[in-house]
Structures are given as structure tokens and as C-alpha cells.
Amino acid sequence: MQPCYRHSGRETGVSCSNCGRAICPDCMTTTSVGMRCPECSKQKTKVKSIGTGSDPVLTYILIGINVAIALGATLSGASATGGGGAGSSTLLSEGSVSRLTVEGGEYWRILTAGFLHVGFLHLLFNMFSLYILGGMLEPAIGRMRFAVIYFVSLLAGSFGALLLTTDPTVGASGAIFGLMGAAVVVMRNRGVDPMESGLGVWIGLNLLITFTIPNISIGGHIGGLLGGAVAALLLFELPDRVRMPAVAPALLACAVGAAAIIGSIAVASSASAV
């Protein structure tokens, strides 16, 4: 809880959706884009979005890495149409994640699987989603917090995939779903309705595809969605409710990623013992 910027003796959990200053009930003005402070409520131009206008550099870097690895996989024998699955090339078979490989000590696959794709359409769909979500989210929350959410989501997606299937799994979908979950949390935190933005419909359609089309990693998608949402809650909602050092939310979010790694190893080990 923070004190209202105009009434220092009043603590509040609400902040202005435009400037971010803490405001008490007497200072709140309800607008179509959330609560505003008295000064911002008088502004008649420039409606606030969750973005700041800076370039999403990390998003572009992640897209570049995924595309470069996809080209490498193609050169090592992978089919552009996705034929042969995760075992169609050396790069895919050495980087995909499965219970058997993780149980054998190849823990790096929990991370590398999130940078591999089976076929051009798989890559295109995920990179288009990353371009849209990253372009919206990274400028709004900053590069470091975006990186934390992305990699926590990726690791949580690998954990979810291992939890529900024994088949080798690849793809950035877990991280993409995590960005969707995080975007909902950030929008609500900034006073923006996710349904009005169309994000809620997008998530619903992607979940429908997840549960109706064969050969899609349900565990990877749901795990990533939950991981990204939890990371965003720790980064943006928890500091508004609990007084803590500035670095604590990021450390707690990283701990979610660490828990996903530990869970992945535990699932693989327990499966081999059955």
C-alpha cells in the first residue's frame, strides 16, 4: 500500500491509470481506461495504452534467434512442412524435451525446446504472435521484466509438456501463452480492460485450438499460460499489496522458473521409476 500523492495520511492500493501515482477514493475519477488522478482526468487527448512507444528490442532478438535456429534445423535435415516431427533433424532431436532425455540428465532441453519448431507454419504462427505480444508488452513493462516473464513462461511450458506427455516436445508456444497471461495481468493493473483490447478473445481462440487440434502440446500451452500469469502477478500486483525491496518481485518470479525446472526433473525421474 502506498500513500495518496495528494493526501499523505491515506494509504491506497489504487494508482492512476495514466501517470501511475497512488490515489485515494477522494482523488479518483472513473474513466473508460481506468481510474485517473484529478490532473490526468482533465486531459482530453492522448488516451493511455499499456505501451510506452520504445522499440521492443528483446522481442526482435528472440524472433531472430528462433528464425536462425529454424534455418539451422532445415539445413540439418528438418522438413519445412513439419514432416518427421521433432526427430526429423539432428538439431531438433538434440534439443527437444521429453521425460526420457531429462531423466537421462540432459536438463538443457527444458530451455532449448522453446527455441525449436517443427515446420515453417509452426515457426510463422509463433513468431507472428511473439511480434504482436512483444511489441505491446515489452515497451510497457521494460526489457528486464519482459525477459523474466518470457523465460519463466518457457520453462513452465516445458514442465507442463513433461507433465502431460511422454512424446518429445518443441516450440515457443509455452512462452507465447505466458505472454498472453502476463498481458492480461498488466492490462488490469494499468486500468485497461483485456476484453476491450481483443486479447481475451485471442486467448480463448488459442485455447480452443489447443484442445481441439491433434498434436498440439496442451500441457505446454497451459503451463506457459499459468507461468506467465503468475510471474506477472508477482511483478506487478504483489508490490501494490506487500511492502518489499524493489528486487524482491523479480526474484520471486525467477523462483517460479526455478520451480518449473525442478518440477520437470522430478516428473521425468518419477516417470522412469514407475
d(CA 22, CA 36): 10
3-state secondary structure of 16: coil
Average pLDDT over residues 48-64: 80
Across all residues in the chain, what is the average pLDDT? 88
Range in 35-39, 112-116, 122-126, 154-158 with the lowest mean pLDDT: 35-39
Which candidate, 7, 54, 51, 13, places its Cα nearest to that of 35?
13
Q: What domains can you pick out in the chain, each with its CATH number? A: 2-41 (no CATH), 57-273 (1.20.1540.10)
pLDDT at residue 106 in the model: 96
**Neighbour count for residue 88 (Cβ, 10 Å):** 20
Q: What is the reported pLDDT for 144?
A: 96
Chain centre to alpha carbon of residue 25: 33
pLDDT value, residue 46: 45
Q: How confident is the model at residue 272 (pLDDT cuts 50, 70, 90)?
A: low
The catalytic residue positions are 173, 221
Q: Which three cell numbers stand for residue 57?
A: 528490442
pLDDT tens, residue by residue, 11-42:
777 888 788 888 877 787 867 566 788 888 77
Dist CA 243 CA 165 (whole Å): 40
Q: Is the pLDDT of residue 80 over 70?
A: no
Query: Does pLDDT of 53 surpass 70?
Result: no
- HSE, CB side, 13 Å, CA atoms: give it for residue 78: 28
Report d(CA 111, CA 133) in Å as an integer: 20
Do the beta carbons of residue 37 and residue 29 sit within 8 Å?
A: yes
**C-alpha cell at position 115:** 527455441
**Higher-pLDDT residue of 90, 46:** 90
Between residues 171 and 29, which one has the greater pLDDT?
A: 171
Cα–Cα dist 228/150, whole Å: 7
- pLDDT tens digits along 181-210: 999 999 999 888 888 888 889 999 999 999
Query: Does pLDDT of 10 surpass 50?
Result: yes
